[in-house]
Structure 1
Amino acid sequence: MAMEADEIRRLIVAAIPDAVVEIDDLAGDGDHYAARVTSAAFAGLSRVRQQKAVYDALGGRMGTELHALQLTTAVPAGGER
């Protein structure tokens, strides 16, 4: 079962309210996406912890409803909290 980009965005923003989420459907099949998530909440976190926060927001859907997510995370310029 494919997952819509809007659902991915909704789940991420529900868990990380200030997140700016940009999503591209890489294959046009609703299964392979690239996402860039920018949030001040990532300030001071390693890239691994930033990405874990995003994957946690997806609530176990990786590998089931969502097959592949090429993920980039970032802190906004001047994003220290």
Structure 2
Amino acid sequence: MPMAADEIETMIRAAIPDAVIEITDLAGDGDHYAARVVAESFRGLPRVRQHQRVYAALEGRMGGVLHALQLTTACPQ
């Protein structure tokens, strides 16, 4: 069963409370999403570590329940 966008957002927000999150269903199938996650707590972290924090928030669902996630992370301007 595919993951709902609001479930993805809820999981990320639980792990990264200061995040501003935008989720887009890329294919309309609930299986291919893009996520933009902007958080002050990312400041000073390399991009790979920012992505690792988001993937950790998804608790192993990447590649299983969540088939594909195009991820963009950033710090607030």
TM-score by length of 1: 0.94
After the TM superposition, which residues 2-81 of structure 1 pair with which residues of structure 2 at under 5 Å, given as runs?
2-77=2-77
Segments of 5+ residues of structure 1 without an aligned counterpart are none
Secondary structure in structure 1 of the residue aligned to 2:53: helix
Residue 24 of structure 2 aligns to which amino acid in structure 1?
Answer: D
Moved over 6 A (4+): none
RMSD: 0.4
Secondary structure in structure 2 of the residue aligned to 1:10: helix
Partners of 2:35 and 2:16 lie apart in 1 by: 14
Partners of 1:65 and 1:76 lie apart in 2 by: 30
Segments of 5+ residues of structure 2 without an aligned counterpart are none
Matched length: 77
Deviation of 1:50 after TM superposition, in Å, equals: 0.2
TM-score by length of 2: 0.99
Residue 6 of structure 1 aligns to which amino acid in structure 2?
Answer: D
Question: Greater CA radius of gyration, 1 or 2?
Answer: 1
